[in-house]
């Protein structure tokens, strides 16, 4: 009986944390409507709490973001608890997803520092941006290819070339417990520079 009670408490805590922090209150996604069509803009560098990991993002992503959020919530100077997670990948065409090298991250303030008991492999680093090309993808991650191809074509047509890793920012995804893949909202992003 005691074990069952403990699991109920754990489940309730997980639901509350998921709603309040990982999914956050429903985000106003209307400010991203302009990204339904690809565009080029400029972004400042961003300090990120990061874990580098090799493996299929569908298999390692949930646990990795869990470690990041656990560290994130224990950091000083972090006031905005509802940040959208991001990930960058080295994705050569010739390898399987199991061989992807991913950089999973959460934005943190410039004055943030790692807590003493941060998990192994967690670090703070600056992600450089500058000129970026972005597009909004609505739907499951498995259906991103046409959106990515549209963005890459736009980059070439505007006289730019990709100058960085493939990046995704998850505005609404599986961390929102009541989301279905068809409802996911992702920004797909590349650093770019003029040809």
Q: Where are the beta strands (DSSP E) in the chain?
A: 39-43, 46-54, 86-90, 101-107, 123-127, 130-138, 160-162, 166-172, 185-194
Cα–Cα distance list, 72 to 62, 66, 102, 115 (Å): 15, 10, 19, 9
Name the DSSP class of 31.
Answer: G
What pLDDT does residue 79 have?
Answer: 72
Tell me what pLDDT residue 94 has: 64
- Where would I find the H helices in the chain? 2-17, 57-73, 145-157
Domains of the chain, first to last: 2-194 (3.20.80.10)
pLDDT of residue 12: 29
Q: Is the pLDDT of residue 126 over 80?
A: yes
Condensed to tens digits (0 to 9), the pLDDT of residues 156-187 reads 999 999 999 999 999 998 765 566 888 899 99
Least confident of 13-22, 55-64, 118-127: 13-22
User: What's the confidence (pLDDT) of residue 175?
Assistant: 63
Give the pTM.
Answer: 0.82
pLDDT at 93: 65
H-assigned helices in 23-165: 57-73, 145-157
pLDDT digits (tens, 9 = 90+) for 100-114: 889 999 999 988 899
């Amino acid at each position: 009986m005691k074990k069952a009670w403990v699991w109920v408490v754990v489940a309730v805590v997980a639901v509350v944390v998921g709603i309040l922090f990982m999914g956050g209150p429903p985000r106003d996604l209307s400010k991203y409507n302009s990204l339904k069509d690809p565009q080029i803009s400029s972004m400042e560098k961003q300090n990120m709490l990061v874990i580098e990991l090799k493996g299929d993002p569908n298999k390692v992503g949930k646990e990795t973001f869990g470690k990041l959020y656990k560290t994130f919530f224990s950091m000083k100077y972090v006031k905005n608890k509802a940040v959208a997670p991001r990930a960058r990948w080295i994705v050569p065409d010739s390898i399987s997803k199991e061989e992807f090298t991913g950089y999973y991250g959460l934005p943190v303030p410039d004055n943030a520092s790692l807590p003493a008991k941060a998990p192994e492999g967690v670090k703070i680093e600056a992600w450089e941006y500058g000129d970026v090309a972005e597009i909004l993808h609505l739907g499951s991650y498995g259906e991103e290819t046409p959106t990515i191809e549209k963005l890459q074509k736009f980059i070439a047509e505007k006289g730019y070339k990709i100058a960085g890793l493939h990046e995704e920012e998850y505005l609404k995804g599986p961390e929102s417990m009541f989301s279905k893949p068809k409802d996911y909202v992702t920004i797909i992003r590349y650093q770019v520079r003029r040809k």
